[in-house]
Every structure is written in C-alpha cells, then in structure tokens.
Amino acid sequence: MDKRHVAEFFGTLWLVLGGCGSAVLAAAFPGVGIGLLGVSLAFGLTVLTMAFAIGPISGCHLNPAVTLGLAVGGRFPYRDIAGYWIAQVLGAVAASAILYVIATGNGSAIGGFAANGFGEHSPGRYSLGAALLTEVVMTFFFLLVILGSTARKAAPGFAPIAIGLCLTLIHLISIPVTNTSVNPARSTGPALFVGGWALSQLWLFWVAPLVGATLAGFLFPKLEE
C-alpha cells in the first residue's frame, strides 16, 4: 500500500465510523437522539472533513463508486482502481469492527447496525425496484456534483463543501428507502457483522452505485465539451 491507499483506508474508516456510528449510537438515543437529520449531517461532515484532510493525498474518494466514476470520467487511471477499492473496503470493515465493540459495550445487541436493505429490511419497507432506482439515481447525482465541483472551471477550494452537502442531501432523501448506501464499501462493512439478510442483499449496494457512477462518468465529460 502506498500513501494514497493508507489515506483512503483511514478516510473510509472515518466515513463509516462517523456516519454509521451516528446511526447506531446516537440516532435514537433517549431524549437527545439526533434522528434522520443528524445522521444525514454526520455522513456529510465525514466527507467534508476528510476531503480537506486527505484530498491532496488521494483525492478523498472513500467510495468504490466514486473511484469508478472518476475513472470513467477520465479523472483517474483504471489501473489504480483495484488498490483503492481494497483500501476502501478494508477501512469500512475496520470501522465496523470498532463500532461493533463500542455498540455492544453496554450489553446490547447490534440490531440492524445501519446495514442497507430493501423489502422488509428497508426502513420504510420499500421494494427491490424502489431501492435499486434510488441508489442508481442518488449515486449518479453524487458523481455529477463531484465531477462538477472538481472540474478545472469550478471555483477552487469549495469542492469539499459541495460534496459534503450533497451527501447530506442524499441521506435526507434516501435513508427511509435503503438506509442510504451510494457507497459499496460503506455497505460491506456493516453487512459483514450483521450477516444473513444483509449479506444476501449486499449485491444491490454494489451494483446500483457502480451503475449510477458509471452513467455520470460517461455523461459529465460531454457536458463539459
């Protein structure tokens, strides 16, 4: 692993620990629970803070779909995708392990553990089709914002803010549908600890974000022409 992979590992660890941690530990805490709005903001803040911290090192992808979308859009070499994906998934698993130890520290079961799901495992009991469409569309727009805010003509220095706020908005829209993935690594970490249904539904949270990111990667360069 070179320094870029180390940065992606710790960046993705922070995203999953901050975002999923807020959902598992703080969302419904009696009296002061942060709810859907707080969890959405937590995910956005993890990306915003890490974009400033490791953006100059690795580009701060933190997400296999982002890495693929940037490659399709001509912003990242295809040969480097595998290394980034491995670092991102390992970071998500490490974060989930830390969160598991914390969450079970009071003797409680982990419950859903912020895992992504559809059907009976969707917070709002949304169908497979609704979950698939949501994840494709949300990831598509996430990549459009990333590609646009980091383009040569974009105002310098503001990309982390735009990207963090975009991820917050995505969570505000889609937590009721799938618990919001738009990130295969973020989905993989919690699923490994929940097992069962979470692992059996994990395929959707790889396929849909990668499809949405690929579509945005193809489209955005044409908008720039």
- Per residue in 73-132, pLDDT (tens digit) is 999 999 999 999 999 999 999 999 999 999 999 988 898 999 999 999 999 999 999 999
Please state, rounded to an integer, the average pLDDT across all residues of the chain: 96
pLDDT value of position 108: 86
N-to-C CA span, the chain = 36
pLDDT value of position 156: 87
Which residues have a Cβ under 8 Å from the Cβ of 100 and sit 6 or more positions away? 110, 113, 193
Spans of the chain below 50 pLDDT: none
pLDDT value of position 169: 98
Predicted TM-score (pTM) of this structure:
0.96
